[in-house]
């Protein structure tokens, strides 16, 4: 396959589920040189649930685009590059997609290894009811609210929006050992609305071997409004550290 460097799409819906994690526990999920990005002394991890339409290489008309539903567990990170720290997210395990093409192309045609999963959604414009089914399972239900939970690490929606708008770069283990692949999301607009979450469960965060009892706490969830967007492939990192090699060899969930 000839690699594609830029992909256009339309984000129909994106949900950011946020979990506060003990920084030392979060750091164990990360390869060098990444470190957890902290808010109020806590690392911010979570789940990105994403429904895309009109997916196609840049330059093709939208009518030729594909559709997919996707999910990824992630940790907000920073790293030193130049005078200021850079921000992004790290996906500790494979992303999930209901698209056979995305699973085939991920890590080959475009960065981001995916595994097949089923992602069910029964949602309106202001309500979400989502199930991710596969080796990793997620359940999320809730509706749009007018404010974040009072105990959120973020003081308000504007602060949360500013935080996640800077996390536009995503890194994950590539198919080649010791390689991290990166993509950058450029959205035409970045508008988030808080969700009043009724049910949230993730088998990833429920794993006590990965997250010991008391090391995680649900923080908040945010709904991103529809927008046109572009994904840009970044130059892979070849890392020689043991942490990077271990990340690249981790089995898919």
Classify residue 115: in a domain, yes or no: yes
Classify residue 200: in a domain, yes or no: yes
Residue-wise pLDDT for 216-247, tens only, equals: 999 999 999 999 999 999 999 987 543 433 34
Q: How far apart are CA 121 and CA 7, in angstroms?
A: 24
Q: What is the pLDDT of residue 177?
A: 87
Residue 60 sits in a domain whose CATH number is 2.40.400.10
Is pLDDT at 185 greater than 50 in this prediction? yes
Q: What is the CA radius of gyration of the chain?
A: 17
Q: How far apart are CA 82 and CA 89, in angstroms?
A: 18
The count of domains in the chain is: 1
Q: Is 81 helix (H, G, I), strand (E, B) or coil?
A: coil
Task: Tell me the residue range of the domain where 36 lies.
Answer: 6-249
Residue 134 in tokens: 């596969």
Classify residue 1: in a domain, yes or no: no
Classify residue 193: in a domain, yes or no: yes
Give 98 or 176, the one with higher predicted confidence: 98
Q: What is the pLDDT of residue 166?
A: 87
């Amino acid at each position: 396959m000839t690699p594609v460097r830029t992909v256009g799409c339309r984000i129909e819906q994106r949900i950011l589920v946020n979990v506060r994690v003990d920084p030392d526990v979060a750091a164990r999920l990360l390869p060098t040189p990444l470190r957890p990005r902290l808010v109020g002394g806590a690392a911010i991890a979570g789940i990105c649930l994403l429904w895309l339409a009109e997916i196609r290489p840049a330059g093709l008309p939208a009518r030729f685009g594909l559709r997919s539903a996707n999910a990824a567990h992630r940790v907000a990170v920073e790293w030193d590059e130049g005078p200021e720290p850079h921000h992004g997210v790290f996906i500790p395990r494979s992303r999930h997609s209901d698209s056979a093409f995305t699973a085939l192309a991920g890590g080959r045609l475009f960065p981001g290894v995916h595994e097949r999963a089923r992602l069910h959604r029964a949602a309106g414009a202001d309500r979400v009811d989502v199930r991710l089914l596969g080796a990793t399972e997620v359940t999320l239900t809730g509706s749009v609210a007018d404010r974040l939970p009072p105990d959120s690490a973020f003081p308000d929606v504007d602060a949360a929006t500013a935080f996640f708008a800077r996390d536009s770069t995503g890194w994950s283990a590539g198919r080649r050992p010791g390689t991290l692949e990166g993509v950058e999301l450029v959205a035409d607009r970045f508008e988030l609305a808080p969700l009043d979450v009724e049910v949230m469960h993730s088998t990833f965060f429920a794993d006590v071997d990965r997250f010991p009892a008391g090391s995680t706490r649900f923080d908040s969830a945010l709904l991103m409004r529809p927008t046109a967007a572009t994904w840009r492939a970044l130059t892979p990192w070849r890392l020689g550290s043991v942490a990077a090699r271990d990340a690249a060899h981790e089995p898919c969930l």
